[in-house]
Amino acid sequence: MYLITIEGGDGSGKGVATKVVSEVLSKEFSFTSVEATGEPRREHPLGRLAIDAVRRQTMTPEQEAGLFAADRVDHSHGWILPRLEEGRAVVSERNIHSSLVYQGVVGGLGVDRVAHMNSAALVPDLCIWVDCDPEVALKRIKTGSLRALTEKEEYFETTELQQRIRRGYTSLLSGELEMPTPFDMGAVIGPVLNEGTEAEFRRALISRIRKFVHSRPAPLNVDTEVVERHLLRRLLHASKGQTTLIGLGVEQTLTKEGWLDGRAPWKTLKEAQNEHDAALERVSEDARVDVPKSILSHSMSAICGTLALMPSADVAELRRALGPVRAVSERHTQRLVKFLHERTDWVHKHRALLGRDAPRSQLKERYRTAGTLVLAIWPLREAISKWIAVNPDTHLRFAMGQIVRSGRHPAAVRDTLERIALLGCGIEGASNPAGASGLVSWWQGKTV
């Protein structure tokens, strides 16, 4: 879902940074996977053409920049974008900012010209700027482990060139130069100084990448609903034909037909919220810590909705299934699942009869309706929550009609209809709602 790039001069530590960032994203967050890559691509014909042009020095700076741009655009749309749409994070060692510095600033083409040549490429969601004194970098390359892994020493023929490259990054990424459109939309973190120990460097990188992901920025290159629908399809496919354990018996998992169990969506939501309110009333204030009051909150909707499409899951499996859009922190996931198991009748928890596997949680059948519903109306959760707050004495069945008629949420209405088409309308024998008026009728329990 996010394209994260690692930038800096030769020998500054980009390779180490790429590895560290990839590890943190894999271990701590809910991306479907984390893919590491780099530019120019040595394994691709376009990337090799760009590398050879630099080595042979037979082309003009503009021709060289054109080859790098061709490799980048192909890489962006042929390799990176499909992975972002699947909910993956991509960490790239070098990307557009390298061209802006090497060809635009140092090469003299100008950043606007280079940006124009790359305008069809993806925009990095985050650029992590790694900085290191060229003298320190050269010493590491000559005496350290980098020497065995790279041929970077050839790029350090003159310290003056490396100083120009460093000044170019400083000018561009510190804001001294105006970042050209469209690459001014992404975030830049740094400089992250790499002149001390590797442990210090790792700590600085980990702190910054955690802060970025926890802030939940909207991705620049993909629509989150595209990501979500991909992940929902995957969940539905994985659960198809599987079974759930109910006591000592086995029952089929939720199917698309009739999952509303004969109730109108508004009524299902109201009943679920009433049960949640009652559960909160039965426990002390201390036991309510980290437990949202509304089932339309991000964490409640994400966890209950995701469990509704899974036979059962331990916390690690649940967080992987949440994906980056529905992501909830590990600590919060554990606390909320524990509350739902111990303080409500929603979740059943069990361990495998053999082995030491982590306990598995299963949303009980009667609550899968509410869980599936909150996934279906996910794009409109905030609008519905605000309507409830503003209209506490108005019947919930009127919420959808008033939200639709307000005309303030056309994209969310469209996305909700797309989700219902994927999950099914929940009314056996009925057609999926068509258009905004169909969504209102569905919300009120009217079949078509």
Residues 163, 129: Cα–Cα separation, whole Å: 16
pLDDT computed for residue 365 by the predictor: 86
Q: Are 153 and 244 in the same domain?
A: no
Do 277 and 168 share a structural domain?
A: no
Task: Name the domain boundary from 162, 196, 222.
Answer: 222
pLDDT of residue 354: 55
Contact of 82 with 227, CB cutoff 8 Å: no
Per-residue confidence (pLDDT) for residue 356, from 0 to 100: 63
* Pair 235, 188 in one domain: no
Write the pLDDT tens digit of every residue in 277-305.
Answer: 999 998 887 767 789 999 999 999 999 99
Domain count, the chain: 2
3-state secondary structure of 229: helix
pLDDT of residue 359: 85
* 110 dihedral zone (left: phi>0; alpha: psi -120 to 50; beta): left
Confidence (pLDDT) at 422? 94
Among 401, 426, 388, CA closest to 294:
388
Element (H, E) at 223: none
Cα 380–chain centre separation: 19
| pLDDT the model gives residue 396 | 96
Q: What is the 3-state secondary structure (H, E, C) of 331-392?
A: HHHHHHHHHHHHCCCCEEEECCCCCCCCCEEEECHHHHHHHHHHHHCHHHHHHHHHHHHHCC
Q: Are the C-beta atoms of 377 and 426 separated by less than 8 Å?
A: no
Same domain, 232 and 366: yes
Domain shared by 182 and 235, yes or no? no
pLDDT at 136: 85
Is residue 448 situated within a structural domain?
A: no
Q: Indicate if 129 and 232 belong to the same structural domain.
A: no
Tens digit of each residue's pLDDT (9 = 90 or more) over 70-104: 999 999 999 999 999 999 999 999 999 999 999 99
**CA nearest 411: which of 185, 223, 234?**
223
The string of pLDDT tens digits covering residues 2-26 is: 999 999 998 899 999 999 999 999 9
Q: Which domain holds residue 248?
A: 225-443
Same domain, 297 and 398: yes
> Do 135 and 277 belong together in one domain?
no
Q: Which residues of the chain have pLDDT under 70?
A: 143-158, 241-256, 287, 352-356, 448
What DSSP letter does each residue of 58-75 carry, written as one string? -S-HHHHHHHHHHHHHHH
For Cα atoms 153, 154, 156, give the angle at the middle one, nearest 5 degrees: 65
Which pLDDT belongs to residue 352?
60
